[in-house]
Amino acid sequence: MRLFLILLLSSSFHLAAQHISFAAEINDSTALVIGDSKLVSKLTFYVSDLQFETIDGEIVKVAAYHLIDFKDSNSLTIETTKAVEKEIKSIHFKLGIDSTTNVSGAFGGVLDPTKGMYWSWQSGYINFKIEGIVEKEKYILHLGGYSSPFKSVQQVILPVMKQTDEFRVTLPIIEIIEKLVPIDNTVMSPSLNAVSMSKSIASYFYLK
Amino acid sequence: MKKNGLALLVIIFFLLSFRQAGKVVFQFPDIFPAPTYDFTKNPLDSNKIELGRLLFYDAILSKDNSISCSTCHSPFDAFAHNDHQLSHGIHDSIGNRNAPPLFNLAWHSSFMWDGAINHLDMQALAPISSTTEMGDNIVNVVNKLQNDSFYRSKFYTVYGDSIVTGEKVLKVLSQFQLTLVSANSKYDQVIRGEGDFTDQELKGYKLFQKNCNSCHQEPLFSTYELAQNFISVDSSLNDYGNGAISKLKEDSLLFKIPSLRNLEYSFPYMHDGRFFELDSVLNHYTSKETKLRFKKAGYQKINLSESNKVDLISFLFTLNDKEFVFDEKHRFPRELLMKWKGE
């Protein structure tokens, strides 16, 4: 009886930590990991300053820097350290790395330059990488740039429509490729195209 | 016997203290401004400096173990490569710039002749990855060091774990390079009241202050900002400096202002090493064409008679810091030779 009560209490009062997982949507199917796909052979990007905004305006920090790599399924889910018990109004994150971090020297963890997201011949993080083959042509988009007029980090705000423990941030890949590749299929340094492409990509994220 | 035991204890104590991580205070003369490098993010430590020194002199940083940092940055050339106009790299390749001397790096706000690198920590990525320098990449370098028992144990000594990361490699390289402080030339001694300029050097000093000091500002002898040097573009190199990085028209032909310290050791001069003599540099800055370009850009023109040039050069040679160039602390570490012999 006592055991039953404890179980009852813990199940009714304990909320699980929230998960935010990232998914790439290709032709209505959701790919969690990109393996040997020709269309998308590489998809990696930085998510930084990930926060929840609760209904009463409180900001709850979830993660400072996170590297999403669609070749590593473990990288796709970010978990809150403890459950946020208030109603969540929106999810906020930056797509990319802020300017201050870009000019502050070497960092470890996901920011270590061995992660393949840092340029060598000029300073700066690559915020977003997508590579593949579309209509028999290779495309390679490495988007970054931390200083004006090529600052490419983007703020993303996703309104939460229904409360859940599992938020799925989704990126529609076909739309992105169709929009960006005709503009330029090779971008590998900071430029105005990199900035406008970053803006486009940020606008495509949605909660599924 | 008792005496021997005591001596042994003293030796053990000495060895132990030698192995321990030692905090190092960054030292520089009072007349220098505050450093731009943020030491709180990478506090100097004697073991880290020593590990950075080993890496600086070890060709393990290059793809085929042929090129080290010191290949193009020799201590005896004030860490430049004298007599070489353009840097030499892997597979006998030739780069497109003159390897600059390395000293007083804690005061630099950007790196490389074009200012493309914004922080000393990130600078080493450029030569490691360049196909005409070391031809490798940081991932491979970290793997090589991780698989090398000598370096594994070194990283263990320094960090308390033997895991090598890009961050650690870059930060220890910074540590060694930050210790390359050149501040004991005759000029420094005169400023400290420990000596006097000759009459000719003093005349040269006055000419320097009138004509050169706005870009090559005392006491570092550079503002380390980017500026035009008004030499014509070499059509075989087509080097437009910072403009190629920032893609902004106004940055075209901007190059980092070099310090005038240690000129005797670090010839040839300019980003493409086109001038082997200081005379040639002064002739360039006082030429008719340069005067016109100065006028167009709104710079104050430089007028120097032939005897002025001799006086000015005699002053510039008071900026040579022999003690720095021959300092054993910065030289090739013998330990590396032992490692190579052991392999």
Integer-rounded Cα Rg, in Å, for chain B is 22
- In the numeric block, the tokens 């889910």 are attached to A77
What residue of A is the nearest CA neighbor of B172? A106
Residue B157 included in any domain: yes
- Smallest Cβ–Cβ distance between A122 and the set B117, B128, B137 belongs to B117
Q: What angle do CA B235, B236, B237 make, to 5 degrees?
A: 90
Interchain CB distance below 8 Å, A118 and B125: yes
Q: Is residue B333 in a domain?
A: no
Let me know whether B172 and B191 are in one domain. Answer: no
Statement: residue B169 has pLDDT above 60: yes
Tally of domains in chain B: 2
Identify which of B107, B65, B104, B112 has the alpha carbon closest to the alpha carbon of residue B87: B112
Q: Residue B329: inside a domain, yes or no?
A: no
Residues B146 and B244 in one domain: no
Q: Are residues B177 and B195 in the same domain?
A: no
- Least Cα separation, residue A105 to chain B (angstroms): 5
**For B175-185, what is the mean pLDDT?**
98
Assess if residue A194 is contained within a domain. Answer: yes
pLDDT of residue A37: 75
Q: What is the mean pLDDT of residues B252-277?
A: 97
Indicate whether B73 and B147 sit together in one domain.
Answer: yes
CA distance B46 to B18: 9
In the prediction, which pLDDT does B17 show?
47
The pLDDT of residue B162 is above 60? yes
Residue B8 located in a structural domain: no
pLDDT average per 10 residues of sequence, chain A (208 residues): 46 68 83 74 96 96 96 93 92 98 98 98 97 94 97 98 94 95 97 98 96
Burial B118-137 (b: 16+ CB within 10 A, else e): bbbbbbbbbbbbbebbbbbb
B62 CB within 8 Å of a chain A CB: no
Q: Is residue A103 domain-resident?
A: yes
By the CB < 8 Å criterion, does B310 face chain A?
A: no
Q: Are B231 and B249 within one domain?
A: yes
Q: Worst-scoring range by mean pLDDT, A23-37, B61-75, B77-91?
A: A23-37
User: Hey, is the C-beta of A116 within 8 angstroms of any chain B C-beta?
Assistant: yes
* Cα gap B75→B69, rounded to integer Å: 11
The torsion region of residue B126 among left (phi > 0), alpha (psi -120 to 50) and beta comes to alpha
Residue B177 has a CB neighbour count (10 Å cut-off) of: 25
**3-state class (DSSP) for residue B303:** coil
Task: Supply φ then ψ for residue B241, to 5 degrees.
Answer: 60, -135
In a domain, A1, yes or no: no
pLDDT digits (tens, 9 = 90+) for B7-41: 555 555 555 444 456 899 999 999 999 999 999 99
| CA–CA distance, A154 with A171 (Å, rounded to integer) | 15
Tell whether A5 is covered by a domain: no
Residue A3 forms part of a structural domain: no
Tokens 């506090």 -> residue: B43
| Closest residue in B to A107 (Cα–Cα) | B167
Identify the helix (H) or strand (E) that includes residue A60: strand A59-69
Query: In Å, what is the CA distance from A157 to each residue of A50, A90, A164, A205, B146?
Result: 10, 7, 17, 9, 41
User: How many domains does chain A fold into?
Assistant: 1
The pLDDT, as a whole number, for residue A29 is 73
Are the C-beta atoms of A108 and A64 separated by less than 8 Å? no
A70 Cα distance to chain centroid: 11
* Residue A20 Cα distances to A15, A81, A160, A168, A205, angstroms: 15, 12, 12, 6, 13
The DSSP code for A107 is -
CB atoms within 10 A of CB A165: 13
Q: Among B116, B167, B245, whose Cβ lies nearest the Cβ of A108?
A: B167
CATH number of the domain bearing residue B156: 1.10.760.10
Q: What is the DSSP letter of B256?
A: E
- Identify whether residues B216 and B309 lie together within a single domain: yes
Question: Which of B162, B150, B155, B205 is closest to B337 using CA atoms?
Answer: B150
Rounded to whole angstroms, the Cα distance separating B164 from B148 reads 10
CB atoms within 10 A of CB B154: 22
Residue B277 in domain? yes
> Which domain, by its residues, includes B76?
45-181
Q: Does B165 contact A116 at a Cβ distance shorter than 8 Å?
A: no
B167 and B277 together in one domain: no
Alpha carbon distance B78, B72 (integer Å): 11
Query: Mind telling me how many Å the CA of A1 is from chain B's nearest CA?
Result: 51
Is A9 contained in some domain?
no
**Residue that wins the pLDDT comparison between B3 and A90:** A90
Whether residue B243 lies inside any domain: the answer is yes
Q: Tell me what percent of the residues of chain B surpass a pLDDT of 90.
A: 89
Same domain, B209 and B150: no
Residues 6+ apart with CB under 8 A from A36: none
Residue B11: its pLDDT value, please? 53
Return d(Cα B152, Cα B161) in angstroms, integer: 9
Burial level of A145, CB count in 10 A (0-12/13-18/19+)? buried
CA–chain centroid gap for B147, Å, is: 29
Residue A161 forms part of a structural domain? yes
What DSSP line would sit under B66-121, residue for residue? ---HHHHSBGGGTTB-TT-SS-B-GGG-B-SSPPPP---GGG-SSBSTT--B--HH
- Rounded to a whole number of angstroms, the distance from the CA of B161 to the nearest CA of chain A is 15
**Predicted confidence (pLDDT) per residue in B260-272, tens digit:** 999 999 999 999 9
Instruction: Indicate whether B195 and B153 sit together in one domain.
Output: no
Contact A114 B118 (CB under 8 A): no
Do residues B86 and B155 share a domain? yes
Kind plus residue range of the DSSP H or E element containing B155: helix B149-159
The DSSP secondary structure of B19-55, one letter per residue, reads HS--B------TTS---SS-GGGS--BHHHHHHHHHH
Looking at the domain assignment, is residue B4 inside a domain? no
Within a domain: residue A77? yes
Q: In the block, which residue shows the tokens 């199940």? A: A11
pTM: 0.91
* Distance (Å) from the alpha carbon of B239 to chain A's nearest alpha carbon: 15
Domain with A132 in it: 16-207
Q: Residue B275 has what DSSP assignment?
A: B
pLDDT above 60 for B128? yes
Mean pLDDT, residues B48-58 taken together: 98
- Answer yes or no: are the C-beta atoms of B229 and B274 closer than 8 Å: no
Q: Are A69 and A128 in contact (CB under 8 A)?
A: no
Q: Do A121 and B130 touch (CB under 8 A)?
A: yes
Least confident piece of the model among A7-16, B101-110, B241-250: A7-16
**A101 touching B, CB under 8 A?**
no
Place of tokens 């998510």: A47
